[in-house]
Amino acid sequence: MSLVHYEIVDAVAKITLDRPPVNALSGELIADIDEAVTRAQSDDIRAVVITGTKHFAAGADIKRFVDAFDSDSDEPIASTLSGVVRRLEQLEKPVIAAIQGYALGGGLELAMGADFRYVGESAKVGQPEILLGIIPGAGGTQRLQRLAGYQVAKELNMSGRQVGAEEAVALHIADKVCADDELVDVAMADAARWATGPTKAYFAVSRAMSEGYGRAIDEAMMVERDAFEMVFRTDDAKTGILAFVNKEKPDFRGS
């Protein structure tokens, strides 16, 4: 992985994009991100932080689009990044995207695959694809409306405007604003706390909410019931319940 740094701090995987100057999402970078996400699937990893050097990711490498005009491939152009974002979203552990600088287009789509988004004071996020005469293709029209609401997402997707850190939090695109030089440290510290919790229960919450979203209430409640039944059989559930009964602090092992 020449364009992504992958390191483990205790049980937290730190994935850092490093394709200067702005981490434009080339095919090679996307492949490296995919490899890092695959490594983070290990049961030894109980939380993940994904970030970028100077900038998170300023969107697709436009040369890929230019090349695609002359390509005979039937593969959808957006499919590769979309698959990586989906695999990030399906990691069975909490994921924090730590965003400084630009997270635009595919960069914001990648960040929306995380459970939480922390933004540095310099952050600018948005879906500017419309300014190129195209639209998002890796979740920008779908995940953004789940975060910010239908009408806000429509305005952002149709205007292509960039949103600063404070507005991103106000619109529920991001969860926390940090000083740029503290951003990654804050994200890593929070991820370390998530890494000591009931990992499978965290994923059960995430899965129940994402799979239940938009369904009729009876169907959504079935999704929640199934997630509850699954997590109730875990070792951590037994640990947590017995610790409560015995007035002890639970020692969750993520199993």
Indicate the SS3 state at residue 109: helix
Q: For this structure, is 129 an active site residue?
A: yes
- The predicted-structure confidence for 118-165, as pLDDT tens digits, reads as follows 999 999 999 999 999 999 999 999 999 999 999 999 999 999 999 999
- The predicted-structure confidence for 172-227, as pLDDT tens digits, reads as follows 999 999 999 999 999 999 999 999 999 999 999 999 999 999 999 999 999 999 99
The confidence band for 73, taking pLDDT boundaries of 50, 70 and 90, is low
User: Which of the residues 129, 166, 167, 219 is marked catalytic?
Assistant: 129
- Strand 163-164 to strand 124-126: parallel, antiparallel, or no bridges (unpaired)? antiparallel
- The predicted-structure confidence for 27-68, as pLDDT tens digits, reads as follows 999 999 999 999 999 999 999 999 999 999 998 877 777 766
Q: For this structure, is 182 an active site residue?
A: no
User: Which of the residues 109, 166, 167, 248 is marked catalytic?
Assistant: 109
Length reported for the chain: 255
